[in-house]
């Protein structure tokens, strides 16, 4: 049994905003060329829902399209995202590498993401996150597409009895609370105050995680 840290990926470790707009623009240009979309690319709408499961993304962005067209759009979008990553246009947030390096000495680290497996693996391999992350879990493996269920599976599979979920959206906070873990919200690009205000802690810079975890250890020691 162990205490672990479970991280979200997009908007928490990875600066998705750097590749989001060009990948989405390429996708909707593809739709426009095939007479499946008119008007501007709905980048602002996507920023508002960033972090939700992808089936929800495409139902929101393309409410009048068939499921088949949404699936094609998502496939094109995922391919564009991965190409942007491979081209070196993405980046981790500042101090993520140094913080993960420190935390991995004391805790097993995992990822629970609403992103698709191929996309997540592109990030993992490009930035060599396997040096510190023990396993990356995608919402793909959960029929319900519910992040609380994903974190529950991680807990069971990894024999986790306590720990933290670090993320930037309501689904991350809820997943922590539903699984009796502490919720730490990062107030980065896509974070929204109303979504993260229920977190046990909110940080503005990644290294603040270390201070929170050290404080938690001290408090736990006082209760022993």
Question: Quick one: pLDDT at residue 222?
Answer: 47
Give me the sign of the Cα torsion angle 203, 208, 209, 215: negative
Question: What is the percent of the chain with per-residue pLDDT over 70, rounded to a whole number?
Answer: 96
Q: What's CA 55's distance to the chain center, in Å?
A: 15
pLDDT 10s digits, 87-126: 999 999 999 999 999 999 999 999 999 999 999 999 999 9
Sorting pLDDT into bands at 50, 70 and 90, what band is 190? confident
Provide the 10 A C-beta neighbour count for residue 120: 22
Predicted pLDDT of residue 219:
61
* Domain 2-15+91-223 architecture: 3-Layer(aba) Sandwich (3.40)
**Cβ atoms of 185 and 191 closer than 8 Å:** yes
CA atoms of 88 and 90, how far apart (whole Å): 6
Q: What angle do CA 164, 209, 18 make, to 5 degrees?
A: 100
What pLDDT does 129 receive?
A: 98
φ and ψ of 92, to 5 deg: -80, 160
CA distance 34 to 42: 17
What confidence score (pLDDT) does residue 8 get? 97
Per-residue confidence band for 221, with pLDDT thresholds at 50, 70 and 90: low
Decide: helix, strand or coil at residue 161: strand
- Cβ–Cβ under 8 Å, residues 47 and 126: no
Pick the range with the lowest mean pLDDT from 24-28, 95-99, 105-109, 220-224.
220-224
* pLDDT at position 134 over 90: yes
């Amino acid at each position: 049994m162990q205490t672990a840290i479970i991280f979200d990926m997009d908007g928490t470790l990875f600066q998705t905003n750097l590749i989001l707009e060009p990948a989405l623009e390429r996708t909707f240009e593809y739709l426009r060329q095939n007479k499946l979309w008119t008007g501007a690319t709905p980048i602002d709408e996507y920023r508002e829902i960033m972090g939700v499961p992808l089936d929800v993304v495409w139902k929101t962005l393309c409410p009048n399209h068939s499921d088949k067209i949404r699936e094609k759009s998502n496939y094109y979008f995922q391919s564009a995202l991965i190409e942007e990553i491979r081209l070196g246009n993405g980046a981790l947030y500042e101090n993520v590498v140094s913080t993960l390096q420190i935390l991995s000495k004391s805790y097993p680290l995992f990822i629970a993401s609403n992103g698709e497996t191929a996309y997540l693996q592109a990030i993992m391999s490009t930035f060599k996150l396997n040096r510190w992350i023990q396993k990356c879990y995608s919402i793909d493996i959960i029929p319900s597409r519910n992040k609380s269920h994903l974190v529950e599976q991680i807990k069971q599979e990894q024999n986790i009895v306590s720990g933290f979920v670090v993320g930037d959206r309501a689904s991350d906070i809820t997943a922590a609370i539903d699984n009796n873990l502490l919720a730490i919200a990062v107030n980065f690009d896509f974070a929204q105050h109303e979504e993260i205000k229920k977190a046990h802690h909110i940080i503005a810079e990644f290294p603040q995680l270390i201070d929170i975890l050290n404080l938690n250890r001290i408090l736990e020691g006082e209760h022993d």
